[in-house]
């Protein structure tokens, strides 16, 4: 069983695996290392990955991509509205305001959620890996943008579960990159020496992420992180497409915005032009044949014109880089190197900005496209006992501070508010708070500062079974939160140290890795009721003290309900089985077609089979093959697998004896020689 690392990009995905000899990137069914994050639907099956992207222009309404940015979001989310403008498929509002994607599949209308679409892509990546590695694949580490909120992370976990993948850990893309860098660097300063400060800039198709880390041999400290979820290479494609759209309206009187297929082609050509501009500063052409109304169009542009046109975009990139440097507390001179990853860091203007802000020429020590997947594969190796890797301490950090509000009763007023997790806090990590309560109460968690997500809410819990002590005083309630390895927040338990309100049986305390990292909330939090350290020490001295677990009810818990998950898994299983069946059917048809052509060619050639059948048999068989060819393109175009198989067998009954005669004839000299030797 292999463990894979997946870089889930908005445009393309990479899969890597840790083996005894190092990290390997897995090539897909088209022998490509990048698999487009794209799924499509047809009357017969689903089309996934490269094949989906290849048929996009002819099946636009049923080709789904860009769903990484729709995960966990509601239909009316402004981000969804923004994406909708660029995506040619239909989105609909579903029960509870959730987002659905409407497609025609198997000649019927179907609505899938973005999580289901992602699950389809995961199914493809799993298949690719199993074929390449020739072993079952279940465990994986998946990258997530550092700016993903808890709900978006949960959506990825749901999608993985639908695709029958077991996520050992989600890993921030920034962390994956630093891991890929740090683990192989031989020349890092010793632990007691001054660390090497390295900046990582990842600019992909849709977003920008920057982090600054301090490296010593065997460890790293994340100093700062900054990002913009909406600054990526596609911004330039949009700008170029808009420019040429206006130019073509003037020049050719055709408006690409009126024709989604033309616009998609224009965007694809704009992207090509952008890539050419990265290596060429002269005037470059953009030509599209039969663009609209049978008209060919032509445009041209120079790199400097693009840079001028996208000045705001580059300015925003600069601001994010400067923000990261400011947050790290370092000066430009303290930075030893800048490593760039992500396709858009190939753009010369972005490289220049990086040089300007950090004072270093960007270096490409890392594989620009594969660093994130390699980092994920390394994390797999660290987490799994099967492969031995150097010990390199790396943990994810929280990018958004999390606060909680606590009420005095269910639906009551908020009496305590505090920051539970500060920014840059490493996780997994548990936090314990102490409250004085005499009634059941609510805890609501939310982001302390605005996040790039529609709502700031994270979760709501009700802590039940709380009653006053026998003498009418408040109980001391301890609530332990956990931020798990995937960056998901939950309440691990709520307890009281009293035996007076026994309603549930005392339970054994579990000791997990997170618990070992258990901490009190930061000192500056408004945690007036936090117990003094001595009290903790005292508790440790008296391990026999009874701990009563209170009931914790999560309201609208994150993730799919068991019923929904089972339903989605079942549907995915059916679609997968259908794809397999369809593939076998098409393969059977192709095998028959191939046999028809091959045998007919051989029967026509003296060097092949012409001499091994009588003229009458040969002519008859060629006639049968001609008829079979016609049948394949007419009524036999779309038959069941078995029909093709039966027809192939029938042909082989006639063709095989001729082939056999040839083999026997060719073996004749050898047989005569053997016979002579025996005599």
- C-alpha count within 13 angstroms, C-beta hemisphere, residue 517: 14
Nearest distance from C-beta of residue 617 to ligand ATP, angstroms = 58
Q: Which does 207 bind (CB under 5 to 8 A by kind): ligand ATP, Mg ion, none?
A: ligand ATP
* Residue 209 to residue 227: CA distance in whole angstroms: 4
Q: Which residue has the tokens 């292999």?
A: 2
Which residue is it, tokens 């990590």? 429
Q: How many helices (H) and strands (E) does the chain have?
A: 16, 29
SS3 529: coil
What span, in angstroms and rounded, lies between the C-alpha atoms of 197 and 358?
A: 11
Provide the 3-class DSSP secondary structure of residue 228.
Answer: strand
Identity of the residue, 9 or 72, whose beta carbon is nearer to Mg ion in the bound complex: 9
Q: Contact, 115 vs 155, CB < 8 A?
A: yes
Say which residue the tokens 């001179």 belong to. Answer: 333
Residue 346 touches which of ligand ATP, Mg ion, none (Cβ within 5-8 Å per kind):
ligand ATP
Structure tokens given for 573:
């299983």
Residue closer to ligand ATP (CB basis): 369 or 514? 369
What does the H/E/C string look like for 137-196? Answer: EEEEEEEECCCCCHHHHHHHHHHHHHCCCEEEEEEEHHHHHHHHHHCCCCCCCCCCCCCE
Query: How far apart are alpha carbons 306 and 350 in whole angstroms?
Result: 13
Please report whether residue 375 would count as binding ligand ATP according to CB under 6 A. no
What the block records as the tokens of 253 is 């009187």
CA distance 601 to 624: 13
**Residue 346 interacts with ligand ATP (CB under 6 A): yes or no:** yes
How many Cβ atoms from other residues are within 10 Å of residue 583's Cβ? 12
Closest contact distance (angstroms) between CB of 79 and ligand ATP is 14
Choose the contact partner of 116 out of ligand ATP, Mg ion, none; CB within 5 to 8 A by kind.
none
User: Residues binding Mg ion: what is the number (CB under 5 A)?
Assistant: 2
What string marks each residue from 65 to 94 as x (binds ligand ATP by CB under 6 A) or -?
Answer: ---x--------------------------
DSSP 517: T
Yes or no: say if 354 and 340 are a contact pair by the CB < 8 Å rule: yes
Min CB(518)–ligand ATP separation in Å: 34
Q: Tell the smallest beta-carbon distance from residue 278 to ligand ATP (Å).
A: 3
Q: Which is nearer to Mg ion, 160 or 262 (CB)?
A: 160
| Residue 492 touches which member of ligand ATP, Mg ion, none, C-beta under 5-8 Å by kind | none
Q: Which does 231 bind (CB under 5 to 8 A by kind): Mg ion, ligand ATP, none?
A: none
User: Which is nearer to ligand ATP, 277 or 466 (by Cβ)?
Assistant: 277
Least CB distance to ligand ATP at residue 352 (A):
14
Task: State the minimum distance, in angstroms, from the CB of residue 536 to ligand ATP.
Answer: 43
Kindly identify the residues of this chain, within the stretch 221-280, that bind ligand ATP according to CB under 6 A. 232-234, 271, 274-275, 278
Whole-Å CA distances, 386 to 127, 251, 668? 21, 63, 54
Note whether 328 binds ligand ATP by CB under 6 A.
no
Q: Cα–Cα distance between 458 and 650 in angstroms, integer?
A: 64
Q: Which of 5, 299, 343, 428 binds ligand ATP (CB under 6 A)?
A: 343
489 SS3 class: strand
- CA nearest neighbour of 233 among 314, 131, 171, 153: 314
With CB cut-offs between 5 and 8 Å by kind, which of ligand ATP, Mg ion, none does residue 127 bind?
A: none
| Radius of gyration of the chain, Cα coordinates, nearest whole angstrom | 31
- Interface with ligand ATP in residues 40-69 (CB under 6 A): 68
- Return all residues near 537 (Cβ < 8 A) that are at least 6 apart: none
Q: Is 11 an interacting residue with respect to ligand ATP (CB under 6 A)?
A: yes
600 interface partner picked from Mg ion, ligand ATP, none, CB below 5 to 8 A per type = none
Q: Which CB, 36 or 428, lies closer to ligand ATP?
A: 36
Q: Residue 547 Cβ, how far from ligand ATP at the closest point, in Å? A: 45
Q: Among residue numbers 194 through 213, which ones bind ligand ATP (CB under 6 A)?
A: 204-207
Answer whether 394's CB lies under 8 Å from 182's CB.
yes
- Site pattern 198..237 for Mg ion (x: CB under 5 A): ------x---------------------------------
Closer to ligand ATP by Cβ: residue 41 or 147: 147
**Cβ-based nearer residue to ligand ATP, 273 or 489:** 273
- The minimum distance between CB 103 and ligand ATP, in angstroms, equals 22
Write out the H or E segment, with its range, that includes residue 214. strand 208-216
DSSP class of 29: T
Inter-residue contact 236 to 269 (CB < 8 Å): no
Helix (H, G, I), strand (E, B) or coil at 426: strand
**Per rule CB under 6 A, count of chain residues that contact ligand ATP:** 22
Interface with Mg ion includes 375 (CB under 5 A)? no
342 binds ligand ATP (CB under 6 A): yes
Q: Which residue, 53 or 274, has its beta carbon nearer to ligand ATP?
A: 274
Among 2, 5, 12, 628, which residue interacts with ligand ATP (rule: CB under 6 A)?
Answer: 12
Nearer to ligand ATP, 35 or 480 (CB): 35
Q: Binding segment for ligand ATP among 341-349, 505-513, 546-554, 614-622 (CB under 6 A)?
A: 341-349
**Could you tell me the maximum CA-CA distance found in the chain, to the nearest angstrom?**
114
Instruction: Locate 308 and state its tokens.
Output: 């001028």
Q: Is 145 in the site for Mg ion (CB under 5 A)?
A: no
- Interface with Mg ion in residues 2-21 (CB under 5 A): 9
What x/- string results for residues 275 through 304 when contact with ligand ATP is judged by CB under 6 A? x--x--------------------------
Least separation in angstroms between CB 373 and Mg ion: 10
Run of H or E residues at 515 = helix 513-516
Q: Shortest Cβ distance from residue 11 to Mg ion (Å)?
A: 8
Which is closer to Mg ion, CB of 365 or CB of 520?
365
CB of 594 to ligand ATP, least distance (A): 36
| Nearest partner of 400 among 144, 224, 147, judged by Cα | 147
Q: How far is CA 166 from CA 59, 115, 159, 329, 469, in A?
A: 32, 15, 10, 39, 45
Backbone φ, ψ for residue 144 (5° rounding) = -135, 145
Are 186 and 325 in contact, with CB atoms under 8 Å apart?
no
Least distance from ligand ATP to the Cβ atom of residue 223, Å: 22
Inter-helix orientation angle 233-252/311-328, to 10°? 170
CB of 124 to Mg ion, least distance (A): 18
**Interaction site with Mg ion (CB under 5 A):** 9, 204
The residues that touch ligand ATP, with contacts defined as CB under 6 A, are 9-12, 68, 204-207, 232-234, 271, 274-275, 278, 342-344, 346-347, 369
């Amino acid at each position: 069983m292999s463990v894979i690392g997946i870089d889930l990009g908005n445009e393309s995905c990479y899969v890597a695996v840790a083996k005894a000899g190092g990290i390997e990137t897995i090539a897909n069914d088209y022998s490509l290392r990048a698999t487009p994050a794209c799924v499509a639907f047809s009357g017969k099956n689903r089309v996934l990955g490269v094949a989906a992207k290849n048929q996009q222009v002819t099946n636009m309404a049923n080709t789904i991509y860009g769903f990484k940015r729709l995960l966990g979001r509601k239909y009316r989310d402004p981000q969804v509205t923004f994406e909708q403008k660029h995506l040619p498929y239909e989105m609909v509002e579903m029960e509870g305001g959730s987002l659905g994607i409407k497609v025609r599949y198997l000649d019927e209308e179907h609505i899938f959620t973005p999580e289901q679409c992602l699950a389809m892509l995961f199914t493809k990546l799993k298949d690719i890996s199993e074929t390449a590695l020739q072993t079952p694949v279940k465990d994986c580490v998946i990258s997530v943008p550092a700016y993903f909120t808890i709900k978006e992370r949960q959506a990825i976990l749901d999608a993985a579960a639908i695709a029958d993948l077991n996520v050992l850990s989600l890993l921030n893309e920034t962390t994956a990159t630093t891991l890929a860098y740090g683990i192989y660097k031989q020349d890092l300063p010793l632990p007691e020496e001054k660390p090497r400060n390295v900046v990582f800039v990842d600019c992909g198709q849709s977003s920008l992420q920057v982090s600054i880390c301090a490296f010593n041999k065997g460890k790293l400290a994340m100093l700062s992180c900054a990002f913009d979820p909406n600054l990526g290479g596609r911004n330039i494609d949009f700008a170029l497409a808009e420019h040429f759209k206006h130019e073509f309206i003037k020049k050719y009187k055709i408006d690409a915005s009126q024709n989604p297929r033309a616009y998609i082609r224009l965007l694809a050509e704009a992207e090509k032009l952008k890539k050419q501009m990265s290596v060429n500063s002269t005037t470059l052409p953009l030509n599209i044949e039969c663009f609209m109304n049978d008209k060919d169009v032509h445009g041209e542009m120079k790199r400097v014109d693009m840079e001028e046109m996208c000045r705001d975009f580059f300015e925003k990139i600069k601001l994010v880089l400067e923000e990261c440097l400011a947050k790290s507390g370092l000066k430009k001179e303290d930075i030893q190197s800048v490593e760039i990853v992500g396709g858009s860091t190939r753009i010369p203007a972005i490289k220049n900005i990086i040089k300007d802000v950090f004072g270093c020429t960007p270096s490409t020590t890392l594989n620009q496209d594969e660093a994130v997947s390699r980092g994920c594969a390394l994390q797999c190796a660290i987490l799994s006992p099967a492969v031995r890797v150097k010990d390199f301490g790396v943990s994810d950090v929280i990018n958004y501070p999390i606060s909680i509000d606590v009420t005095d009763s269910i639906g009551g007023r908020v009496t305590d508010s505090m920051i539970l997790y500060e920014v840059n806090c490493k996780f997994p990590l548990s936090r314990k708070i102490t409250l004085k309560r005499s009634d059941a109460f609510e805890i609501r968690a939310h982001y302390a500062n605005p996040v790039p997500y529609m709502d700031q809410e994270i979760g709501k819990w009700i802590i039940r079974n709380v009653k006053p002590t026998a003498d009418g005083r408040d109980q001391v309630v301890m609530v332990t939160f956990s931020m798990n390895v995937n960056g998901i927040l939950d309440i691990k338990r709520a307890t009281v140290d009293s035996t007076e309100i026994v309603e549930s049986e005392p339970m054994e305390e579990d000791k997990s890795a997170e618990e070992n990292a258990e901490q009190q909330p930061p000192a500056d939090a408004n945690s007036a009721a936090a117990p003094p350290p001595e009290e903790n020490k005292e508790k440790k001295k008296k391990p026999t003290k009874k701990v009563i677990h209170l009931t914790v009810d999560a309201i609208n818990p994150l993730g799919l309900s068991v019923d929904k998950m089972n339903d989605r898994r079942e549907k995915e299983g059916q679609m997968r089985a259908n794809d397999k069946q369809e593939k076998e059917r098409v393969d059977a048809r192709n095998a028959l077609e191939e046999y028809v052509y091959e045998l007919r060619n051989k029967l026509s050639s003296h060097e092949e089979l012409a001499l091994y059948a009588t003229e009458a048999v040969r002519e008859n068989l060629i006639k049968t093959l001609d008829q079979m060819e016609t049948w394949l393109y007419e009524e036999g175009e779309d038959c069941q697998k078995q029909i093709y198989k039966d027809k192939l067998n029938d042909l082989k009954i006639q063709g095989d004896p001729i082939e056999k005669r040839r083999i026997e004839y060719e073996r004749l000299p050898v047989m005569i020689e053997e016979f002579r030797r025996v005599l």
